[in-house]
Chain A
Amino acid sequence: MLGYYFDLALRSLRRNKVLTALMVLAIALGIGASMTTLTVLHVLSGDPLPGRSSTLYYAQVDPRDMNGYLPGKSQPMYQVSWIDGMNLLRAKRADRQALMTGGLVVVQRHNTMLDPFYEAARYTTGDFFPMFGVPLEYGHAWSASDDEAHARVAVISATLNGKLFGGTDSTGQTLRLSGAEFRIVGVLGNWHPNPQFYDLLRKSYDENEGVYVPLSSSQDVGMHHDGSVDCWGKGGTGINPDHASRCAWLQFWVQLDKPAEAAAYKTFLIHYSEQQKALGRFQRPPNVQLRDVMQWLDYNQVVPDDVRLQTWLAFGFLLVCLVNTVGLMLAKFMRRAGELGVRRALGASKRSLFAQLLVESGVVGLAGGIGGLLLALLGLWLVRRQPAEYAPLAHLDPAMLLATFLLALGASLLAGLLPAWRACQIAPALQLKSN
């Protein structure tokens, strides 16, 4: 029966090509626009470390004076100072912990014609790699004892390894980083957490740092800090923040495998703040935060307002397109009142008429879905040409592809529902009489 209805639908749609084209176009435009924005939203609000993100927490404390303090409203400082970071790191109260910050290093390799160049770097303690599950293609990460020993070791990204060593195993080789010799101990595998949750101030969605070195060694060499620095009270800084200064410029991440540990860790942060207040370093009442990865992303509103706005706009557009299609379909079905009346008089039930009309709207939806998919691909291509940081990531994945078709089919069936129901209400006798 369905095959017959399908055939009927095609005949009916062919009979009025302009109207059919209008309906298909309207659905395609609506679907195309909403799928484009939904894909961008989907890409931006994803979990950067699936399966791991709920055990990773970003810790914040508030070392500032009372200036500007609003009880209950003031958030703790965005980053931690060197002193607090080191204290928390040495306390070792979490399963794993990493203190890190961003930087820029000059990369030089011996015996090559390559000009020295600047490369984004991460200065971090060794737990960074096991904590975030960073895959290594060659070699290994550095250990806690390397951190302690201020070892001149480095891990480089696959991209940098390709640029310097043609992608071969470069462990054991040395590089000059900001004027000092470092031995490469590891090369990253394919690792592109998106967004780059561990340092959101980098504002980069697709490019990882090229160089990773122990935080302690980076400070010995005087490597350039690159990132936000917030000073409080009479604190100030140049490019490389002084360790004793009242400035926060490091990120502190902890891994806590069980939820109970998270509660305990938060208590520890409060105790730490009280202790620092007793010592006279902190002045505010304890003001701490411990957010897991997704909470941290949410707090930082990593999905830009513009993208949310565009999604609302696209769905508004889809709604207009649907109302448009409902109107056109209603007109089309009502025009065929005579034909439908004959079918009813010949014994077709309301249900089978309803099914026939829904098949017709489904065909329109399917065609609209295919058109919408093409338009979404075009839309995503346009998005990729936009200046936004997230633009290069806007690609359709299989899940969104399926969602496109379900949305198109669902939307057009929904649009067909009302006209089909209305057309089934026609009294057959009246239609037969009129002609």
Chain B
Amino acid sequence: MDILPILSTLRRHKLTAWLLALEIALTCAIVCNAVFLIGQRLQRMDVPSGIAEHELVQIQLGYIGDTPDAKAQTQNDVAALQQMPGVKQVGLDRYLPFSLDGSSNTGIKLDPQQQQNTLDAGQYLGQNLLPTLGVRLVAGRNFEPGEYVDFDTAVAALNNGDMKGLPQTMIITQAIAERLWPGQEALGKTLYTESGIPFRVIGVIAVLARQNNLQQGAQYSTYWPIRMTSADGASYFIRCAPQHRESVLKAAVAKLKQLNPNRVVLKARTYDHARRAFFANDRAMAGMLVGVIVALLIVTALGIVGLASFWVAQRRRMIGVRRALGATRGDILHYFQTENFLLATIGIALGMVLAYGINLFLMMHYELPRLPAIYFPVGAIALWSIGQLAVLGPALRAAAVPPVVATRSV
């Protein structure tokens, strides 16, 4: 295919040709960045929690009036829940990974004299957490009953500066262990909280995501042997088979109300529901981006169809003359296809530069990483194919122009 005649024709429609190239460039740049943003969202939504997500339900209660003996009440509740059919494990905690309700976090140091924290980690308190959540220990052991401290005792001890009331041991995630002691055994080592309180590491768990602040290290989580009651704001977490979740939830709520009617159910939901809610905004944003990409490609394709149709209509005589001089239908078809390919290539080249620029702008304002090179060919192929698809109709119409047109005057 000879490119030179196409170029010389395009030179006669400089403005229109540049506009089309510009449109393709803008679309290419936006599509590249939008696809990248979608990838970022999907990656964020895909963070592993490390817990048995599909087997957990949560019930949070609020008390009406006084809570005379929250500890005994909680023990009663747990014992009763454990007796229920279908219930495998029962635990208590304030928050689980990916929580919209709030979070509890702590600074961790290697040396109590350090002024800046080494890292910031999520904090899990509560009893019987590991078996309930299905979190896997990779080294060491779970807490023994004697290691637990009551929540109110721990708070009082912290405020009085009395170290004896505080727990001495902690379980950390592998991510923390590798950050603090790269390549070494973490078991038995001592770490310090923000305020310099020492804890001995007795167990390492494979994966446990923190409650929120994921950007500060999604897998930086710690587990403290502090016993909570439902009056401290903790929820009951029940583990059961996935297909029994709804029935167990209903029965457990009824049971808890029967045990003490003087309370209100604040939350009763499956963990899946909670996780979906946490990432709902990301899902909505990804959906919107997909919508924008589709709309952009459609608008660009329609623009190409419009301009190509116009050019075909304008060049009917020229096409007729070429056909009369011996050009085949295929030649005419290829002519318009090549023309579109050339314009798309110019547009894509411009678009790449623009895409890079937009990415730099986004990096400055929105904490995004650099656009990986893989997105450039994706955008290029998308626009080349859209261009070829869009031009096919008008090009076929051009190819159908009979040679006799050349002999007719208007």
Contact = CB atoms under 8 A, between A and B. Distances in A.
Contacts of A326: 19
B151 interface: yes
A68 interface: yes
A178 B180 CA distance: 46
A396 interface: no
Contacts of A236: 154-155, 158-159
Nearest to B63: A106
Contacts of A388: 281, 284
A309 interface: yes
A242 B159 CA distance: 9
B26 A26 contact: no
B15 interface: yes
Nearest to B17: A327
Contact of B22 (A67, A310, A323): A323
A116 B64 CA distance: 8
A366 interface: no
Interface size classification for chain A: 35 or more
Given A106-B62, A320-B296, A327-B23, A69 B264 contact: no
B292 interface: yes
B339 to A, nearest CB: 14
A316 B26 contact: yes
A66 B194 CA distance: 11
B30 A327 contact: no
Contacts of A323: 19, 22-23, 26
B107 A320 contact: no
Contact of B281 (A18, A115, A328, A387): A387
A179 B299 contact: no
A25 B302 contact: yes
Most chain B CB atoms below 10 A, which of A104, A106, A117 = A106
Given A238-B155, A310-B288, A327-B23, A317 B295 contact: yes
A237 B155 contact: yes
B303 interface: yes
B266 interface: yes
Interface size classification for chain B: 35 or more
Given A104-B62, A324-B23, A238 B232 contact: yes
B299 A332 contact: no
Nearest to A227: B102
A234 B284 contact: no
A306 interface: yes
Main secondary structure of the interface of B (DSSP, over half): helix
Contacts of B266: 118
Interface in A221-244: 224, 228, 232-239, 242, 244
A234 B195 contact: yes
A220 interface: no
B300 A238 contact: no
Contacts of B310: 19, 328, 331-332, 335
Interface in A66-99: 66-69
Contacts of A401: none
Contacts of B277: 387
A386 interface: yes
Nearest to A222: B66
B307 interface: yes
Contact of B62 (A118, A244, A328): A118
Contacts of B66: 179
Interface in A114-171: 115-118
B158 A235 contact: yes
B410 interface: yes
Contacts of A235: 158-159, 195
Interface in A210-269: 224, 228, 232-239, 242, 244-246
A219 B233 CA distance: 18
B195 A233 contact: yes
Nearest to A328: B306
B285 A327 contact: no
B152 interface: yes
Nearest to B154: A236
Contacts of A305: 366
A435 interface: yes
Nearest to A327: B19
Contacts of A228: 102
B303 A116 contact: no
A22 B310 CA distance: 13
Interface string B179-211: 000000000000000110100000000000000
Contacts of B154: 236
B194 A67 contact: yes
A69 B107 CA distance: 13
Contacts of B362: 309
Contacts of A33: 292, 295
A309 B295 contact: no
Nearest to B66: A179
A108 interface: yes
A435 B410 contact: yes
Contacts of B235: none
A271 interface: no
B68 interface: no
Interface string B278-302: 0011001100110010011001101
B313 A238 contact: no
B20 interface: yes
B295 A68 contact: no
Interface string B253-277: 0000000000010100000000001
A179 B66 CA distance: 8
Contact of B115 (A67, A242, A330, A335): A67
Given A26-B303, A236-B159, A332-B310, A68 B115 contact: yes
Contacts of A303: none
B30 A328 contact: no
A327 B195 contact: no
Nearest to A304: B281
A48 to B, nearest CB: 22
A52 interface: no
A321 interface: yes
Nearest to A320: B26
B159 A244 contact: yes
A246 B158 CA distance: 10
A319 interface: yes
Contacts of B39: none
Interface of B: 15-16, 19-20, 22-23, 26-27, 30, 34, 37, 62-66, 102, 107, 115-117, 151-152, 154-155, 158-159, 161, 194-195, 197, 232-233, 264, 266, 277, 280-281, 284-285, 288-289, 292, 295-296, 299-300, 302-303, 305-307, 309-311, 313-314, 362, 365-366, 410
22 contacts: A19-B306, A29-B295, A67-B194, A118-B266, A234-B158, A234-B197, A236-B154, A306-B281, A308-B365, A309-B362, A310-B288, A319-B26, A320-B26, A323-B22, A327-B19, A327-B20, A331-B307, A331-B310, A387-B280, A387-B281, A388-B281, A435-B410
Given A22-B306, A239-B233, A335-B310, 8 more contacts: A236-B159, A238-B232, A313-B289, A324-B302, A326-B19, A332-B310, A386-B281, A386-B284
Interface of A: 18-19, 22, 25-26, 29, 33, 66-69, 104, 106, 108, 115-118, 178-179, 224, 228, 232-239, 242, 244-246, 305-306, 308-310, 313-314, 316-317, 319-321, 323-324, 326-328, 330-332, 334-335, 386-388, 418, 422, 435
